[in-house]
Structure 1
Amino acid sequence: MTNSEIVDLLELTGRLMELHNHDAFRTRAFQTAAFNLDKSTADLSQLSADDLVKLPGVGKAVANKIREIVDTGHLTELDDLLAQTPSGVLDMFRIKGLGVKKIRTLWHELGIDNLRDLQLAGENGQIATIKGFGQNTQEKILAALEFLQEQKGKVRMDKAAMIANLLHDELAQYFDRVEISGQVRRKAQEVDRVQLLLQTSDPISAMLTLAGRPNLVQHEVESSPFVWRGQLEGFDVRVELLLVPAEQMDRELFIQTAAEPHLQQVGAGGASLLQAAYTSTDVSEPAIYQRAGLPYIVPEMREDDFAFRWASRHRNDELVTWDDLQGTLHNHSTWSDGKQSVADMAAYCRQLGLTYFGIADHSKTATYANGLDIERVQQQQVEIDQLNAGYGSDFRIFKGIESDILGDGSLDYDEATLATFDYVVASVHQTLTMSLDKAMTRLLRAIENPYTTILGHPTGRLILAREGYPIDHRAIIDACAEHNVIIELNASPYRLDMDWRWIDYAMEQGVMISINPDAHDLVGLLDMHYGVAIARKGGLTKSMTFNALTLNQMDSYFRQRRARIDKK
């Protein structure tokens, strides 16, 4: 049992206890424990009940429940609660903005116990008539239901990669060659089909081998003699396993990786890429592009014709890579809602070969994330100075902050405090439901603030969970160009925000992109791998990647920016 699995079970128990009106004190005990343990770096599975009660927010009763989870793999009390709760009511927890009390009201007052009935109740106006709901809440619920329906059967790129790698490692025991292809190889940010190619000269035996794998659930009607279709047990996303002879593996890997609009591109020879793939005697990927009379395109960019327009101005070796990253600038520590100290985060950055670490903990308005008031800002900066004094000239911690963009577009510190930071990441975290005009007014004012260095996760979206607020990307990029503001590509697979489709326009306007992990623990720093993948999909070059600047270049950038502010 991992910490996150334990916390998820405690959190769900607390929610269901509240849903069923259980004792408020015991309910809060579970909720408080889940909230506090989510930040813990201790290995909960290795702690005794006596050790668990020493952790913040954990009482004796909850400590025993954690041991039950670890020792048995489940929680009897949660099992009983789940047995009393229709699965459709559990689905309602996925609707953003719909809390436990409202779900209980919908269930008990309208008898709604599934998403279909919830949608019908919204469409006929019933929800708006309930006390405490109203027309606005009804519209939000309907919009959330529509969004969930559109995302059904999809997973984020990190989970898709995990599933693909699990399948690869298992199936490589039975097949001479196994290749991950399709959307996963193309680094799609949302995946509705995890696809692998299995080399075999005997499809019948291959199908029998797959049938013998207990974690593979076949959809027989959708399958064919050469394609196994189904799911990996425990995951909703579709799995597709293609059975391919050895001599066709390279050709199929190319064809299955590229999206259809990319394959239909016609080159100088008058043939499409797809035609070239089938007629080329050399089926290596570079040879296929050459036969079509088109420049070679890296797998991440094989979406449509954009890659060829990009290739007319750039070379593939200009694309940013993990090795190009010199540091990281949007990270959190135990000063706000992170799990590790500034010192530990910085030390891990050094292990990764990075030369600078930027701390950007939450600002004072973010009380839910233990945001820093002015006094704590000063205390943190003293700590950073002390840590920097112990480093040589090859590493440094930069003092940053993730300052909330308030409703009127202002940042939530006075100028004197903002001036103490090396840089400021300005982000929207609250009041996310906005019209286009409201969102643009808010963001543009923040961009115009001379202390805004980086615009954080520009749309506030959460992949497969929450649509971003509407923005005019072109106007935002133009404003960042005018005010010398960097745009963040938030590398967390939960966000991947900015959208990769706007990277090229940003580069054209001279706006640099910072690949920021928004890391709250050591492992989170590795999310920059996802950021690099999406950056490459959008054509981001090393020269336009902000955190590809060296330590000295970054230090000079911050100093020059400060000098320009001081002159105003």
Structure 2
Amino acid sequence: MDNKNIIRLLKHTCSLMELHGENDFKIKSYNNAIFNLEREKGDLSAMTATELAKINGVGKSIATAIDEINQTGSFANLDKYLQETPPGVIELLSLKGIGAKKIRQLWKDLDIESSEALLQAIDEGKLAKLKGFGEKTQNNLKEAILFKQKHSGKLLYAEAEPFVNALKESIKQQFPDVQISESGAFRRKTEIIEEILFVVASEQEAQIKAYLSSIEALEYSQKQSGPFTWRGVLTETDTPVRFRFTSKNSFYRDLFITTGSQAHIYREVKEQKCLLDLAREAGQVTSEEDIYQLADLKFIAPELREGQFEFDSAKMEQRANLIEMDDLKGILHNHCTYSDGKHSLEEMATYCKELGYEYLGITDHSKSSFYYANGLYENKVKEQQAEIDELNKKLAPFRIFKGIECDILPDGSLDYDNDTLASFDFIVASIHSAMSMDVEKATLRVLKAVENPFTTILGHMTGRLLLQRDGYPVDHKTIIDACAKNNVVIEINSHPRRLDIDWRWIDYALSQGVKLSINPDAHAKEGYHDMIYGVHIGRKGGLTKEMNLNSMSLEEINKYFESRKEKALNMAV
């Protein structure tokens, strides 16, 4: 149990308390404790109950609860509420846009105990009689339910990754002669995984199938399985899992066929034959390269097999060397305790240096986000910049660049005046509020920010949170064209739930000469490790180190920032 999971259980308990109508004082105590625990730097799982009770706002009862979580994975109070709550009502708590108190109304007043029952009640107009459930609330609820149903069983790539790696390693240990590889969307590093697929070749096929059926995390589906296929689901998430069994002679052919998207493998490439035809007609192949050679093509990396630009020889020549983790020289777009980050500025910088990077861009939230993200007013900006100056002396030659994640306000302007903007080395401009916009309004809002001479990087272009909410709609082409015209870098936000800009638009951005920047949006030291997901997305779009901003060396990016700022100051006069 890490801090994040412990706090998640406490938050869930707090929601259940509201659901059951506990007194406000008790709920407030939990919320106060959670607020302080989110800022606790120590490892909660390593603390005794006595040590936990000394944390500001925690107290003896919550300390005891955390101690029990550390011992058993849960605690008595949570278990009690879970037993007293119908599973369908617990599921309603995960709906976006509705709190526990309103769910209590639905449960107690209308006897609604599932999302299906809630959807039916909305369609039948039953919610209209309840206070606080106007037409807008009902529409938002309906959208949330339909969104959740649409994405049922799907996983983020980063959520699927630990399971895929652990299961593959487990099978290798149990059956040393096995040939096994992940395939499908997961091998292509797609951001959302709808099915986890493996290709397997082994003389012990029956034993492997029996082993899979014995794994507690998997639920076998005999009805859907066949002679060469084992099918089931991940029990926790209901995500489909499929094992395709083949011979060792056919392993690479079947891996090739199952990896590429339909648009890729059905692409006509030679003598009116598609890649799938060539693969099926081939004799024994010893690698996927053999199949591409039959089509007179160079090997195409799995990430690129989406039927996009991978058959354009000129583009593939330009992008022959896709970006790698080792190409990243610094980490931009990060938050520390000055706004809503977990670790101090020095801790964030020191860890970044320990990871071998040359520089860090610190970009705490700007003042408009003060109430929900502790955004920085001008006095705090000056305080942070003074600390950066001192740390740069201490950590040299490592460098901290003075940045800010500056809110793009509803009218498209940035959150500070020009004098304050000029005090930063670089600006990441992002939208965080008033996100209910049509495509015209959202596009115009972003365009105005892109045209601001102080904007260096456009942050998470659509504001999407994968499997949680759709982003605001934007005209990607128009915005990318504006970034090209104004020399603004576009962020690939590496947080697994964002991965925004969408990789499907990276090719167009590169074709327009727009640089990208792989940024983790880290709110804690651990967030730096999300950079790998941005690399995956960059590679899918054909990104090379030459077109990635933070592949620049410290000296190169310092000159880049200085040049951009000089130009902005001249334009602002």
Following superposition, the deviation at residue 243 of structure 1 comes to: 2.2
The one-letter code matched in structure 2 to 1:452 is: T
Q: Which moved more, 1:187-196 or 1:263-272?
A: 263-272
Q: Which residue of 370, 374, 387 maps to 1:370?
A: 374
Q: Deviations over 1:113-159 (max 9, x none)?
A: 21112112222333355332322222222222222121111000001
Which residue does the alignment assign to 1:461?
A: 464
Which residue does the alignment assign to 1:159?
A: 159
3-state SS of 2:55 partner: coil
Q: Which residue of 469, 474, 488 maps to 1:471?
A: 474
Aligned partners of 1:128 and 1:137 also within 8 Å:
no
Partner Cα separation in structure 2 for residue 473 and residue 310 of structure 1: 25
Partner Cα separation in structure 2 for residue 110 and residue 469 of structure 1: 33
Which residue does the alignment assign to 1:380?
A: 384
The one-letter code matched in structure 1 to 2:151 is: Q
After superposition, residues 400-549 of structure 1 pair within 5 angstroms as: 400-549=403-552
Q: Which moved more, 1:109-118 or 1:499-508?
A: 109-118
TM-score, length basis structure 1: 0.96
Which residue does the alignment assign to 1:135?
A: 135
Q: Deviations over 1:282-339 (max 9, x none)?
A: 3411110110233421100111243213754534533211111111110011211112
Which residue does the alignment assign to 1:53?
A: 53
Residue 343 (structure 2) pairs with residue 333 (structure 1): no
Following superposition, the deviation at residue 419 of structure 1 comes to: 1.1
Following superposition, the deviation at residue 408 of structure 1 comes to: 1.7
Residue 206 (structure 2) pairs with residue 204 (structure 1): yes
Q: Which moved more, 1:258-267 or 1:196-205?
A: 196-205
After superposition, residues 34-433 of structure 1 pair within 5 angstroms as: 34-175=34-175, 176=177, 177-281=179-283, 282-309=285-312, 312=315, 314-367=317-370, 368-393=372-397, 395-433=398-436
3-state SS of 2:375 partner: coil
Q: 1:310 to 1:536 in 2, by over 3 A?
A: farther
The one-letter code matched in structure 1 to 2:196 is: V
Following superposition, the deviation at residue 186 of structure 1 comes to: 0.8
Q: Deviations over 1:426-469 (max 9, x none)?
A: 11112222222321232122222222111111111001111001
Following superposition, the deviation at residue 378 of structure 1 comes to: 0.9
Aligned partners of 1:154 and 1:192 also within 8 Å:
yes
Q: In angstroms, what is the RMSD of aligned CA positions? A: 1.8
Partner Cα separation in structure 2 for residue 268 and residue 243 of structure 1: 29
Q: Deviations over 1:386-431 (max 9, x none)?
A: 11112334x2110001111222222222222111110111111122
Partner Cα separation in structure 1 for residue 479 and residue 393 of structure 2: 39
3-state SS of 1:63 partner: helix
3-state SS of 1:425 partner: strand
Aligned partners of 2:520 and 2:528 also within 8 Å:
yes
Identity %: 46
Q: 1:102 to 1:311 in 2, by over 3 A?
A: farther
Q: Which moved more, 1:7-16 or 1:189-198?
A: 189-198
The one-letter code matched in structure 2 to 1:223 is: S
The one-letter code matched in structure 2 to 1:361 is: D
Which residue does the alignment assign to 2:2?
A: 2
The one-letter code matched in structure 1 to 2:551 is: A
Aligned partners of 2:422 and 2:569 also within 8 Å:
no
Partner Cα separation in structure 1 for residue 186 and residue 313 of structure 2: 22
Aligned partners of 1:362 and 1:401 also within 8 Å:
yes
Partner Cα separation in structure 1 for residue 439 and residue 130 of structure 2: 29
TM-score, length basis structure 2: 0.95
Aligned partners of 2:457 and 2:491 also within 8 Å:
yes
Partner Cα separation in structure 1 for residue 129 and residue 428 of structure 2: 42
Partner Cα separation in structure 2 for residue 86 and residue 212 of structure 1: 29
3-state SS of 1:465 partner: coil
Q: Which moved more, 1:32-41 or 1:140-149?
A: 32-41
Following superposition, the deviation at residue 542 of structure 1 comes to: 1.8
Following superposition, the deviation at residue 210 of structure 1 comes to: 2.6
Aligned partners of 1:204 and 1:225 also within 8 Å:
no
Structure 1: gaps of 5 or more residues = none
Following superposition, the deviation at residue 540 of structure 1 comes to: 1.6
Q: How many residues align?
A: 567
Partner Cα separation in structure 1 for residue 293 and residue 474 of structure 2: 40
Partner Cα separation in structure 2 for residue 455 and residue 289 of structure 1: 38
Partner Cα separation in structure 2 for residue 43 and residue 83 of structure 1: 29
Aligned partners of 1:266 and 1:292 also within 8 Å:
no
